[in-house]
Amino acid sequence: MKAPVAYRRERLDRGIKVRSDDIFALAGWPEILYLAGPRVAAAGFLLVFPLLRNWTGDYWQTVFLVAVSMMLAAVSWAFLENVGLVSLGHSLFFGAGGYLTAIAVLDLGLPPLLAVLLGTVGAAAGCAVLLAPVLRLRGVYFSLVTFALPLLFARVIEATKVLGGTEGLAGIPGLGSLEVRQYLLVVGLLSATFGLQRLLDSDYGLVLHAIRDNDLSVRASGIPVGWWKFGAVLVGVLPAALAGAVLATHYHVVGMSAFALDYSVLPLTAAVLGGSGAMAGAAVGAALLVPFSELLRAFGTLRVVAYCAVLVLVLVSVPEGLFSVVRRRYHQFERWVPL
Amino acid sequence: MVDRLGKQFGGVRALDGVSLEVRPGEAVGIIGPNGSGKTTLVNLITGFVRPDSGRVVFRGVDITRTSVEARVRMGIARSFQTPRPFYRLPAFRNVIIPLCSRRARERLGSGFGRREEVALDLLEEVGFERDAAAVTKPASELPHGYLKRLELARCLALDPQLLLLDELFSGMSPAETASLIPLLLRLVEEGRSLVLVEHRLAELFQVVGRVVVLDFGRKIAEGHPADVMAREEVRRAYLGGEVSASA
């Protein structure tokens, strides 16, 4: 009788990966293309798509705008997750960006572009200050606070009728044309994705990873953990706040819906779908999820159910995220070898 | 250096008016039974716990209310009794973390690749050279003895003037401790102050010239190791209950 042969999966780095990764040798175009190709292709798509308005029609251009906004929110979520701050209330950052922009335009009379920048930076600073007292909380306790805050803001606005109450703040002038808004978001997205990834890969990113691992040892190493977390929130909120700010000028109105659960669940789902280990993974997740959710438009608020279904499916089947799987296939080949 | 420190946790008097002075270039051992307040003393000196009474003075400056990070910047470093490495990071990246602190930046500057270089040197110093692969292994895969040495390397990265080592030798093989003792002696020779909390007395006495014995948060003896260990109250505290002279 023949014993059953057991197999294991073997993963080997592709030759080109080995050459361009460990030896730092750029021998020619194949290597350069291999390394830069995916990035350039993705960035190129984002930069070219707004120019195809005649061909795609306005509807898909608006979907593109929303998708890029959610990609920003997802990148923001993934960055904070990498620092050990799991946010369940990203709509807080999103809504803060929107409301502050509205105030800057309507009450301070600033031009829209300036208002968007001020709204973005102001929201990041405001949220960082707001969260500063709870940054020392670890794990699920921090998440619970972030979960409660947007709900709290929405109820306060509803009950006290500040900031336009349930009506919201309307009459926000548009920021240039659709293309201007799209390119502002795309530039923001590209700098956030590559900038934050670079930050995470640097020694500073190492310290941030270490804080997630074990903050006592980081303190014993002479690094003020509180300030570092504060800085991480400040930087990490920026992309989400920018998305909220630009979308406010796009819709000409910002209301309590900016604090809605959708904007908290979507970045989280996107980051899990794409894989939150890499900033680009979160962005890819959102780029897949938003068009998908457009197809479910008829179901209204039931879309949150779809997000949750995607979340559960991905967590069970590809817990590392789609982007991580694709990236691994790009760098390595697999084969089954007998044990 | 430490003046009449006191600390209560609830109804427990963890430390009761303990005074201690450590001079530059001196190594002092702190011994005592479990729960006698040794680790609390380390926590108070390094700022992880604030005292209820008393003062901590470092090089003439009162640092009783100073933060942990500020104390590290002044040159106080500690190791933890149970190693607290960054488990997901490779060993040498563990040492990069303290090298990102303000004290290390002021000393090293920030040249490209400089931190990796210094980190590898430090790991070699504490004895990682025996297993070259250990340097790049995640800390979660390292054996206990290596984690202890990693803890020491993390402290040395801070170029400490006062180094507090909380049970560095516990769980190490005799060969491992023997390889570390010359390093500790050299640190003392360089003019640094060492405070060693230790249960392994034979190894401890090779490094320190003075020991302090704590029992129930009080200092019950201080002096040369041989003299202190000869005292009746120390033997009683250490071995528990009545001890005959021949024990």
pLDDT of A216 reads 85
B148 within a domain of the structure (yes/no) = yes
Place of tokens 């294991």: A8
Out of A109-113, A182-186, A273-277, B13-17, which region has the weakest mean confidence (pLDDT)?
B13-17
pLDDT of B11 reads 54
pLDDT of B247 reads 33
Q: What number is the average pLDDT over the span A23-42? A: 76
Q: What number is the average pLDDT over the span A112-121? A: 86
Residues 6+ apart with CB under 8 A from A115: A101, A104, A105, A108, A245, A249
How far, in Å, CA of B6 to CA of B75, rounded?
23
User: Is B86 found in the same domain as B21?
Assistant: no
How far, in Å, CA of B52 to CA of B21, rounded?
19
User: Is B97 found in the same domain as B35?
Assistant: no
Q: Which of B86, B87, B151, B156 is the mutation pick for testing A, counting most A CBs within 10 A? A: B86
Place of tokens 């807080």: A92
The minimum CA-CA distance between A273 and chain B, rounded to whole Å, is 23
B125 within a domain of the structure (yes/no) = yes
What's the domain count of chain B? Answer: 2
- Are the Cβ atoms of B97 and A206 closer than 8 angstroms? yes
- Are the Cβ atoms of A210 and B72 closer than 8 angstroms? no
Closest CA to A129 of A215, A211, A228, A233: A233
Residues of B with Cβ-Cβ distance to A218 under 8 angstroms: 97
pLDDT in tens, B53-93: 777 888 888 888 888 888 888 888 888 888 888 888 888 88
Task: Determine the residue of chain A that is closest to B116 in CA distance.
Answer: A203
How far, in Å, CA of A126 to CA of A233, rounded?
10
Sign of CA pseudo-dihedral B99, B100, B106, B112: positive
Closest CA to A142 of A182, A92, A105, A107: A92
Q: What number is the average pLDDT over the span B112-132? A: 76
Give the closest of A204, A216, A222 to B101, CB-based: A222
Task: Note down the domain range covering B202.
Answer: 1-67+181-247
Residue A1, pLDDT above cutoff 60: no
User: Is B153 found in the same domain as B80?
Assistant: yes
User: Is B83 found in the same domain as B148?
Assistant: yes
Residues of B with Cβ-Cβ distance to A220 under 8 angstroms: 46, 48, 68, 72, 77-78, 80, 84, 154
- Are the Cβ atoms of B80 and A219 closer than 8 angstroms? no
Task: Determine the residue of chain A that is closest to B79 in CA distance.
Answer: A220
User: Is B152 found in the same domain as B99?
Assistant: yes
Residue A63, pLDDT above cutoff 80: yes
pLDDT > 70 in chain A, percent: 95
Query: Is B157 exposed, middle or buried, given 0-12, 13-18 or 19+ CB atoms closer than 10 A?
Result: buried
B170 within a domain of the structure (yes/no) = no
Residues of A with Cβ-Cβ distance to B93 under 8 angstroms: 206
Q: Which of A83, A206, A221, A227 is the mutation pick for testing B, counting most B CBs within 10 A? A: A221
pLDDT of A75 reads 92
Out of A135-144, B42-51, B144-153, B238-247, which region has the weakest mean confidence (pLDDT)?
B238-247
- Are the Cβ atoms of A220 and B97 closer than 8 angstroms? no
Give the closest of A209, A213, A221 to B98, CB-based: A221
Could you tell me the CATH number of the domain that includes residue B106?
A: 3.40.50.300
Residue B245, pLDDT above cutoff 50: no
SS (H, E, C) B187-242: HHHCCCEEEEECCCHHHHHHHCCEEEEEECCEEEEEECHHHHHHCHHHHHHHHCCC
The pTM (predicted TM-score) of the whole model is: 0.82
Task: Return mean pLDDT, chain B.
Answer: 80
Size of interface A-B (CB pairs under 8 A): 75
- Are the Cβ atoms of B115 and A220 closer than 8 angstroms? no
- DSSP 8-state assignment for residue B132: G
Q: What number is the average pLDDT over the span B104-121? A: 75
B243 within a domain of the structure (yes/no) = yes
Residue B243, pLDDT above cutoff 60: no
Out of A13-27, A73-87, A204-218, which region has the weakest mean confidence (pLDDT)?
A13-27
B32 within a domain of the structure (yes/no) = yes
B211 within a domain of the structure (yes/no) = yes
Residue B38, pLDDT above cutoff 50: yes
User: What are residue A39's phi and psi, to 5 degrees?
Assistant: -65, -50
Out of A225-229, B31-35, B233-237, which region has the weakest mean confidence (pLDDT)?
B233-237
Q: Find how far residue B62's CA is from the centre of its chain.
A: 21
The minimum CA-CA distance between B189 and chain A, rounded to whole Å, is 23
- Please tell me if residue A203 touches chain B, with a CB cutoff of 8 Å: yes
Residue B241, pLDDT above cutoff 70: no
Residues 6+ apart with CB under 8 A from B205: B29, B211, B225
Closest CA to A69 of A308, A302, A293: A293
How confident is residue A24, by pLDDT bands cut at 50, 70 and 90?
A: low
- Please tell me if residue A210 touches chain B, with a CB cutoff of 8 Å: yes
Residue B9, pLDDT above cutoff 60: no
User: Is B55 found in the same domain as B26?
Assistant: yes
pLDDT in tens, B145-198: 888 888 888 888 888 888 898 888 888 888 888 888 888 888 888 888 889 888
- Are the Cβ atoms of B84 and A221 closer than 8 angstroms? no
User: Is B61 found in the same domain as B80?
Assistant: no
- Please tell me if residue A201 touches chain B, with a CB cutoff of 8 Å: no
Residues of B with Cβ-Cβ distance to A214 under 8 angstroms: 84-87
Give the closest of B89, B102, B104 to A213, CB-based: B89
Residue A306, pLDDT above cutoff 70: yes
The minimum CA-CA distance between A208 and chain B, rounded to whole Å, is 9
Residues of B with Cβ-Cβ distance to A219 under 8 angstroms: 48, 68-69
Residue A326, pLDDT above cutoff 80: yes
Place of tokens 């680009």: A280
- Are the Cβ atoms of B100 and A217 closer than 8 angstroms? no
- Are the Cβ atoms of A214 and B73 closer than 8 angstroms? no
Residue A125, pLDDT above cutoff 50: yes
How far, in Å, CA of B55 to CA of A219, rounded?
21
B104 within a domain of the structure (yes/no) = yes
How far, in Å, CA of A48 to CA of A29, rounded?
23
User: Is B148 found in the same domain as B129?
Assistant: yes
User: Is B80 found in the same domain as B59?
Assistant: no
Residue B12, pLDDT above cutoff 70: no
Residue B161 or residue A35, greater confidence: B161
B167 within a domain of the structure (yes/no) = no
